Amino acid sequence: MRTRLAVGVAVLALLVQAAPASAAGPLKSITKRYVGSAVAVQHLNAEADYRAVLTREFDSVTPENEMKWGTVEAVRGQYDWSGADAIVDYARRTGKSVRGHTLVWHSQLPDWVGGLEARELRKVVKNHVFTEAGRYRGKIRAWDVVNEAFNEDGTRRPTVFQEKLGDDYIADAFRWAHQADPKAKLYINDYNIEGLNAKSDATYELVRSLKRKGVPIHGVGIQAHLSLLYGFPSGMKENIARFAALGVDVAITEADVRIPVPVTPEKLDAQAGYFEQVWDACHAVKRCVEFTTWGFTDRHSWVPGVFPGEDAACLFDAELRPKPAYTRLNP
């Protein structure tokens, strides 16, 4: 992952001048939806140009790793809230909302959690939800309560939570989160549920079932990690609309569009088209309330380290210059 040292005020001014907001204004000013980005605290603290563009363009932030269980409680009973606190404090000082990410997820989980017996595991999950959601009570606009619960075929993912606690762990997590922070909007979040398919069908049926049981679920998070190697998801607008018809909000929570290297002008134009289709699909449905990207600059994208041969997935390049995808959203 590429890094860059923080720059002085004079250099920062030149950088921001070189990468101005659109004449229409920053992204956050052109829509009534929340416009957000995932944020890594080390870049927020160390890179003044990164911080300046983030502050200018977005009105919502999602901690990239700082609120995940493996970060906040790697050792049982020993908590590290430093990164999460720093992002929440930054949001407060700059007038931004925070999307909490994530309370119950099988990945980036502390090793000690996986070895617990069912009864103890349930107690530990409940304590984790109450501890984290309670710490930020009133400071988090929305929580990704349960993350990535389904396989591609729509079956339940065999996580430690599913295997030891059964189907009810999801409803329990939402109830606990609501008790810990009654004003936060609570979401189930997943990838590859952008279009109409078996996985989004399963998510739809789960949300409908939870609503019928009176479980406090308020939204569906559609991650929207896309790639030019694959066609654009079929029926995205219709999919968002059917979730909204259940009486919940919908959020685009982690959008990016991977480009197979080498990057060319033609591929950048195709990437812009994908971003525009996601943006338009969200704006076509009133209850699609948020458009958040998983980072905003290729300087710190997660993509090259996870998808060899793909890169350049963000709205801004590594020098924080707006790419065609940005100008397509904000001409």
Catalytic residues: 148, 254
| Ramachandran sector of residue 214 (left: φ over 0; alpha: ψ -120 to 50; beta: rest) | left
Q: Are 256 and 225 in contact (CB under 8 A)?
A: yes
Q: Are 22 and 331 in contact (CB under 8 A)?
A: yes
Query: Buried (b) or exposed (e) across 291-318, using 16+ Cβ within 10 A?
Result: bbbbbbbbbbbbbbeebeebbbbbbbbe
Q: Which residues are paired to 189 by β-bridges?
A: 147, 221
Q: Are 126 and 133 in contact (CB under 8 A)?
A: no
| Whole-angstrom distance, CA of residue 279 vs CA of residue 284 | 9
CA 145-212-168 angle, to 5 degrees, is 50
